[in-house]
Amino acid sequence: MEDIHKFRIFNKLKTVYRFNSVENRKESSAEHSWSCLILADFFLSKYSINVDRLKVYELLMYHDVVEIEAGDSPLHPEIKRLDKYEKEKKAMELLEKTLPTPLNLKFSNLFNEFEEQKTMESKFAKAIDALDAEIHELDYKKDWKGWSEEFLIDKKLKYFEEFPEMKKIFFEIVDYLKENDYFNQ
């Protein structure tokens, strides 16, 4: 039972809320992780992207677990994220001690791989993470208040450079946002 109680820590990700809307509430980090998994499966099924599919899924499944302790650090033009990495690193170290074995080490290894961005799998997972919010927020125009095309491109374009299919879709989304006045609120 001790490991089951430790495993229950993962359920807390359902209670971490992000800036993004879902109907009349905010999206949980657990919902975002699920959405990233579906989006990754879409791109991996549609295009020839040479990555280890299981590794990508694992990276996305665990990438926001640190938010259980650190909370969400939303990317938004009006929000400063000065200590994001330090908070998440401390959260990872705490969770590594409290999560059940062997998932604690798996989690910390995946967190570090995702943050370091050295493998194609981690780069692809990061690109999915970056694109998921933009696709999700197409349904919530009011959440774009304060955003500009320049800010979005400055913060996100770098993640798509190695994935031309995703880069193309990113710019199609930017064009859609401009044409439909998402930036002019």
pLDDT number for residue 19: 85
The structural domains of the chain, with segments of one domain joined by +, span 2-179
Q: Do β-strands 25-28 and 17-22 pair in parallel, antiparallel, or remain unpaired?
A: antiparallel
> Does 21 have pLDDT greater than 90?
no
pLDDT digits (tens, 9 = 90+) for 83-125: 888 899 999 999 999 999 999 999 999 999 999 999 999 999 9
Q: From the options 1.10.150.300, 1.10.3720.10, 3.40.50.880, 1.10.3210.10, give the CATH code of 2-179.
A: 1.10.3210.10
What's the CA dihedral at 113, 64, 175, 46 to 10 degrees?
60
pLDDT beyond 90 at 155: yes
pLDDT for 185 beyond 80: no
CA distance 26 to 154: 25
Q: Where are the beta strands (DSSP E) in the chain?
A: 17-22, 25-28
Tokens 């694992």 -> residue: 58
- Position 74 pLDDT exceeds 90: no
Q: Is a pLDDT exceeding 80 seen at residue 41?
A: yes
Taking the model in full, what pTM does it have? 0.94
Q: Quick one: pLDDT at residue 81?
A: 72
User: What confidence tier does 176 reach under pLDDT thresholds 50, 70, 90?
Assistant: very high
